[in-house]
A and B are shown apart, each in its own frame.
Chain A
């Protein structure tokens, strides 16, 4: 990870986002702050964010102290993205009742917001349902959308978030840009395109293993990874952006147009050949980054 972070910085990427799960066979990172510290300590410019840290499972006072420490040490290059979590085993392993995740989330946000106002880490939130998205807008925190959300759903939820922001009375001029993870593979080679899409498919089989489900929102249907595994995964693979630089940029600009200006390329897939990953990072940096406005992450 640290070697990739250094490479990303050299190639001109702006942000690196880390995600969290617990007790999973492949060593999925369960402790994002030490992982973020390891990257921040060896880079100069790259921002590092948690996308997402599962807030209800932590002591918020200690978490706030750690996040502020990282913010100071990195000279403001750390972003603290928080979400609620959904796996029973993760709550149970940390002695937290899943029923308590909402009150613990709210209490935790209160503590983190006080720390942010005092020079601590900027808070981001992860959410994919109407009410939590609106709450994020009301509280004034930018969102980072999951890579599994199709563009249309991101657009719908962005509008919900903007309504929340407006209701909070905050000025529109201070409204932050939102972010989204995206599965992407820049290639004009049909075989490579198919391989990349199949690696994305395989990566979402892991989410079926994690027990993840994307609930319905308005006209957007539920993607049930447990009951309709193959269909849900196939639908998610369709969110993958592949093709030439022009084709990739055209799709990425859709996000820009609706106010989603932090795009995190979801490129690190379990078991993926390292040379393929590095080659893709270089290809995107060479052909896509210079033509996009604002921040680009991976």
Chain B
């Protein structure tokens, strides 16, 4: 299992940089104000080179083609590191599934011509006389296919319909049969408690666990705990703790410069 970090609003760049320097797989941006999640994700993206940038996308507010266009630009900004966490919010399962289908089709590599229970794209409105019956959202994402994870009230049903992973919030909701099973958890900063918590998630079947660190905590110290103790603990089964419990090597002479 791999660990990631949930970013605090307007501190995305610094926190994402910190997460990357500690070897985490990714960061989650946009959990504060959902309307501005895309800018939060861009700031996390330009501060980093390798981590996956999971962006929280709340469905039901903006036209799905606009959402797809923003995601595509984001994916080009971060060279194909985008993962979408789609929040079904207040939508019914049927409407959420349709909206998600439009976003994914628009991000695909074929022209889109979609007619569903909630959306018709292109709309075919009489005043738009020269509009064609299909269109292509451009630019295309940098990666071949953007991964989608789901959360929200209708996530379970939409996930089943679409064969997509639902973000687990409890170890019991992290079935071990999926190749990718994302999850989210809050850590306390207590090594023993957090060790037990992340281990439980791994045993349950989570593959990517996004961590929320305690408010007001020394983020650098917590991240050191995460990278030195928690990440190794869940990176392999039966981790020999003698390695993480051993003494930390001396600081390199010259303040770390070689």
Which A residues fall within an 8 A CB radius of B?
A: 2, 22-31, 33-35, 37-38, 41-42, 57-59, 61-62, 65-66, 69-70, 72-73, 88-89, 91-100, 211
Q: 10 interchain pairs (CB within 8 A)?
A: A30-B69, A31-B69, A31-B72, A37-B39, A38-B77, A65-B33, A89-B132, A95-B119, A97-B125, A98-B127
Is B143's beta carbon under 8 Å from chain A? no
User: Nearest chain B CB to A95's CB is how many angstroms away?
Assistant: 4
Partner of B128, one of A30, A33, A62, A97: A97
Is B145's beta carbon under 8 Å from chain A? no
A65–B73 Cα distance when bound, in Å, is 19
Are B36 and A69 interface neighbours, CB within 8 A?
yes
Are B125 and A94 interface neighbours, CB within 8 A?
no
A31–B38 Cα distance when bound, in Å, is 10
User: Nearest chain B CB to A55's CB is how many angstroms away?
Assistant: 12
Interface residues of B in 1-58 (CB under 8 A from A): 10, 13, 33, 35-36, 38-39, 41-43, 45-47
Are B42 and A92 interface neighbours, CB within 8 A?
no
Is B213's beta carbon under 8 Å from chain A? no
Partner of A89, one of B38, B41, B63, B130: B130
Is B131's beta carbon under 8 Å from chain A? yes
Is B244's beta carbon under 8 Å from chain A? no
Is B84's beta carbon under 8 Å from chain A? no
A-B pairs with lowest CB-CB distance, top 3: A27-B139, A92-B131, A37-B42
Partner of B122, one of A33, A65, A89: A89
Partner of A23, one of B33, B124, B137: B137
- Nearest to A42 among chain B residues (CB) is B46
- Nearest to A62 among chain B residues (CB) is B35
Q: A30-B73, A72-B10, A91-B128 are in contact. List 16 more A-B contacts (CB 8 A).
A: A22-B138, A23-B135, A25-B136, A31-B73, A33-B39, A37-B43, A41-B43, A41-B46, A59-B61, A61-B35, A91-B131, A92-B123, A92-B125, A93-B122, A95-B119, A211-B130
Are B128 and A38 interface neighbours, CB within 8 A?
no
Are A99 and B39 interface neighbours, CB within 8 A?
no
Partner of A70, one of B39, B62, B63, B137: B39
Are B38 and A59 interface neighbours, CB within 8 A?
no
Partner of B130, one of A42, A88, A95: A88
**Residues of the B chain whose Cβ atoms lie less than 8 Å from the Cβ of A38:** 42, 45-46, 77
User: Nearest chain A CB to B229's CB is how many angstroms away?
Assistant: 32
Contact with A along B119-157 (1 / 0, CB 8 A): 111111111111110011111100000000000000000
